[in-house]
Amino acid sequence: MTSGGMNPLSAFEEGERVAALSVAVDILLSAMNIGLGWRAHSASVVATGVEFVIDVLAAGMVLLGLRLASRPADADHPYGHGRVEILTGMLEGIVLVLVGGSICFKSVQGYNLQHPPPAAYALWPLVASILTKGVLAGIKFRKGRKINSVALISDAWNDTVDILTGATALTALGMTLLNPVRFQAADHFGGFAVGLIVVVIGLRVARDTSLDLMDTMPPAPVMESIRNAAKRVEGVKGVEKCWARKTGLRYHVDLHLEVDPEISVAKSHHIAEAVRHQIRRDVTSVADVLVHVEPAPSG
């Protein structure tokens, strides 16, 4: 079960549906922004459209990652293939950084050259993009947290970037339209700001996903829930060590359990199995538990 009590396969399928929806939406938005932005001679709108092209690739990466991660465990991958999903999120962060830098460079090219001001209709694709991305980001954050998907949450941050970049481009374009003489370069610098925001969010996404790849421990409340679940089992004297690492949508736990040193091996094994099942029932974000039994210290 996942953190929302969902079957793991259903969780992956739900994530795939959201990623597929994102691909379709991003294709429409990229075509609209690049087409109208190019026709209206707006650097910031074209930059926003280019970012949406990358969103198509990013959402496609998430979709592929979720499908690969849903494959069951095998002899070579006893913990499953879940880390493909985490790796996908990290790659998306790296792509955002590279694309953001490219947008910055392209946007400031020719900013000081004289050219006609952008057409006013260039505002509409930006407004439509901001509203659409707001809805899409909300869906991804909710579903990503429900199924504990790093890649889907990373893609939600990507959509949040799109809202910020869209608002930035809208402000810059509005300034240019308001006073084309005074703010002629505002549209170009708006595109530069779009790229800069993309770089910053990309660095954050890469950092967050790299922590999971480095086996960073889960949040303290999760670890406390695991310990408390183990201590509720009859025969448990204490929990000496408790470690966990994320292997996809859920955690694998290593637990050192203290029991009465005078009981039999069979009884110790029975307690360990009871602890394993108790934790998996109580903490639904845990995929499995490896229990090591130790004698409780005297006194």
pLDDT in tens, 189-211: 777 777 787 788 788 878 888 88
DSSP 25-80: HHHHHHHHHHHHHHHHT-HHHHHHHHHHHHHHHHHHHHHHHHHHHTSPP-SS-TT-
Question: Is the pLDDT score of 5 beyond 60?
Answer: no
Q: What DSSP letter does each residue of 96-117 carry, written as one string?
A: HHHHHHHHHHHHHTTTTS--PP
How confident is the prediction for the chain on average, in pLDDT?
80
Q: Does 7 score more than 90 pLDDT?
A: no
Tokens standing for 270?
């029975």
Looking at residue 116, its amino acid is P
Mean pLDDT of 109-118: 62
Nearest CA-CA partner of 282 in 60, 3, 19: 3
Query: What tokens appear for 191 in the block?
Result: 């595109």
When the candidates are 3.40.50.2300, 3.30.70.1350, 3.90.1150.10, 3.30.70.1070, the CATH number that belongs to 220-295 is 3.30.70.1350
Interval 276-289 mean pLDDT:
90
Confidence of residue 114 (pLDDT cuts 50, 70, 90): low
Whether the predicted pLDDT of 12 surpasses 80? no
If you search the block for the tokens 């293939």, which residue do you land on?
Answer: 81
Q: Given a cut of 90, is residue 277 above it in pLDDT?
A: yes
For the chain, what are the domain ranges? 8-213, 220-295
Above 60 in pLDDT, residue 182?
yes
Check whether 231 has a pLDDT greater than 90. Answer: yes
For the residues 109-129, what does the mean pLDDT come to?
74
Q: Tokens 């091996």 map to which residue?
A: 265
Whether pLDDT at 185 is above 90: no
Given a cut of 90, whether residue 276 has pLDDT beyond it is yes
The answer, yes or no, to whether residue 285 has pLDDT greater than 90, is no
Q: pLDDT tens across 27-38, in order? A: 888 888 888 888
**94 pLDDT above the threshold of 80:** yes
Characterize the bridge pairing of strands 238-246 and 251-259: antiparallel
Mention every residue, 6+ apart, whose C-beta is less than 8 A from residue 55: 22, 26, 29, 30, 158, 159, 162
Indicate the fold that domain 8-213 takes in CATH: Alpha-lytic protease prodomain-like (1.20.1510)
